[in-house]
Amino acid sequence: MSGVDPRAVVSSRARLGQGVCIGPYAVVGDDVELGEGCVVHGHAALEGPSQFGRENQFYPFCCVGSAPQDRKYRGERTRLEAGDRNVFREYVTVNRGTSGGHGVTRIGSDNLILAYAHIAHDCEIGSHTLFVNGATLAGHVTVEDHATVGAFCPVHQFCRIGRYAYVAASTVITQDVLPYSKTVAPRETRSYGVNTIGLEREGFSKERIAAIEKAFRLLLRSRMNTTQAVERMRAELGASEDVAVLLRFIESAERGIVK
């Protein structure tokens, strides 16, 4: 892609640096400033007032620089400011600031913001951060340099995430996260037995399901450890092809199994 595709919509009030590329059906609105070498892929939408540095990339269907999602917002002129080499993947949303939050959302440089992540109004994002798919910041959140916010993590408004912190997937953040720390919600993921209804729908016979259920009882409900349960499963149910599949899966696990 080179230059501005004729099917793109680019405001006469937008400012484009040298080497900016804009794909088909992208929208670049009023008062958007794109630095040299920025790439706006097809169907991306940029709204202003927004200022972006060099070599930022905007992937399809992201919406960056849109109005804040705040009941108090009444159309005041607020801004988004971003540095260089940031990547905004598909369906990312980033809002401008509000008058109650100094009027600006700021993003540093070299940040990777994966699909469906959201950065709300008045956030302050450092540089070299990673937002995994679905990470969600409420308003006025600060994320310092080199921090990682895991997939589907909601962060409460006004919280801070310190530099080099790692927040694991699906962790709800309601207080400040220490620099250099690993933070993770309690993991209560368990296996509750056989997916009987699903197997029946796939045409498994009662005999096949019964063998699988017995294997699961040995694995999950006995007092045996996994190694002992596997030995019993092989001794008592070795003729079942489905149990053989289960055994191969268990024995090839590198990260353990959910029990």
Active site residues: 121-122, 139
Cα angle, residue 128 at apex, residues 126 and 134 outer, rounded to 5°: 85
Does residue 4 contact residue 27 with C-beta atoms inside 8 Å?
no
Which one, of 45, 44, 49, 37, lies nearest residue 2 by Cα? 37
Q: Which residues contact 2 (CB under 8 A, 6 or more apart)?
A: 21
Q: Which residues contact 109 (CB under 8 A, 6 or more apart)?
A: 53, 83, 84, 85, 86, 127, 128
According to DSSP, residue 217 is labeled I
Pairing assessment for the beta strands 182-183 and 166-167 based on DSSP bridges: parallel
The residue assigned the tokens 């059906």 is 25
